[in-house]
Amino acid sequence: MKDQYCSKIILFGEYSMIFDATALLVPFRRFSARWVQAADNMDEQQSFSARELLRFCAFLQENGAFAETIDTDAFAEGLRAGWVLASDVPPGYGLGSSGTVAAAVYDRYGKAHLQDPVQLKELFGRMESFFHGSSSGIDPLLCWLGRPFRISADRVELLDDDILNRGIRICLIDTKKERKTKPLVEYFKKQLEDPAFAAGFRDDYLPWVSACINTFVQGDHDAFFTALRHLSAGQLRFFRPMIPDHTAALFRGGNDFNFGVKILGAGGGGYMLGFTDDCRKAAELLKDYDVLWLEPEQINCGGGKHAD
């Protein structure tokens, strides 16, 4: 069993996965969850974890589809014995707080751990639907694997841990606004019912997602920041309700150095992502925000479940 279940960052492709398009994810070990056996005097976080895990256990027990994969009786017994998840992953910030829960429960109480990442994603999607109503399953998959990966509809490509050593720096920008994933995803799916919106998203936006992913992985700075400028403009077009008003100017660009931003996860608040190759100028631009820079060593959890 793993010692911790690290948070995740979807660099690109959150909403694109609805179209089975490509997404790029990295683990983020700055925040994580781990199993602890709590005493009678639980702190506030542990009490919340205990309540959520009880509800999650009931959900798994009531859904017969999990009978072959999750030992729900052992899960319930563990909860009665005081086992909870101690977590510092901030909820509502796009870092996969519910993904760590699904991965941790599967790790501890899974009857037989699947080896195929695509099958794992499908199982995790059904598990995480408890939290969001529907789920792609990639958040808990990332928390489980503990490795950067590029994913499409039927393929998970594990990437080298040195993906952040290629000169493109990333930061988390705190919007100071918590949000809920489910209503934002439901809003976007409702927009897709408009054929013009769906066609524009597919034909005008998705190619820039792919371009950002490919050039980031390759470390091609010039091509990456060109693609990122188009992607930021596309997010203003297709995801305006997911962009807090006080951050919209960052998406419009117009800077004299390589810099761009995008929503993280469902958007609507929490963290946003910033990218640059000039940290000094970016720090000046973002001086009015709380900013957390990602360090290369923070993306490898160590001891993750590696799939070949």
Number of domains in the chain: 2
* Residue that finishes a domain, picked among 161, 181, 212: 161
Q: Do 222 and 271 belong together in one domain?
A: yes
Q: Do 13 and 142 belong together in one domain?
A: yes
**What is the reported pLDDT for 306?**
36
Q: Do 185 and 292 belong together in one domain?
A: yes
* Residue that finishes a domain, picked among 161, 183, 208: 161
Nearest to 33 by CA among 133, 98, 100: 100
In a domain, 303, yes or no: no
Q: Which residues contact 276 (CB under 8 A, 6 or more apart)?
A: 168, 169, 171, 257, 258, 259, 260, 282
Burial of 218 (0-12, 13-18, 19+ CB in 10 A): exposed
Which range marks the domain in which residue 186 is found?
166-298
Spell out the alpha helix ranges (H) of the chain.
44-62, 72-80, 97-109, 117-132, 138-145, 181-191, 195-200, 206-218, 221-238, 248-251, 279-285
Q: Do 174 and 127 belong together in one domain?
A: no
**What is the reported pLDDT for 11?**
95
Q: Do 146 and 186 belong together in one domain?
A: no
Q: Do 19 and 89 belong together in one domain?
A: yes
Return the residue matching tokens 């996965």. 17
Q: Which residues contact 30 (CB under 8 A, 6 or more apart)?
A: 7, 292, 298
Q: Do 32 and 124 belong together in one domain?
A: yes
For residue 293, the domain's CATH number is 3.30.70.890
Q: Do 54 and 181 belong together in one domain?
A: no
d(CA 101, CA 104): 5
Per-residue pLDDT of the chain (308 residues; tens, 9 = 90+): 888 999 999 999 988 887 778 999 999 988 999 999 986 667 788 888 889 999 999 999 999 889 999 999 999 999 999 999 999 998 888 898 999 999 999 999 999 889 899 899 999 999 999 987 778 888 999 999 988 999 987 788 999 877 877 789 999 999 999 888 888 988 999 999 999 999 999 999 999 999 999 999 998 999 999 999 999 999 999 999 999 999 999 999 899 999 999 999 889 999 999 999 999 999 999 999 999 998 877 765 443 343 33
Q: Do 136 and 191 belong together in one domain?
A: no
pTM over 0.85: yes
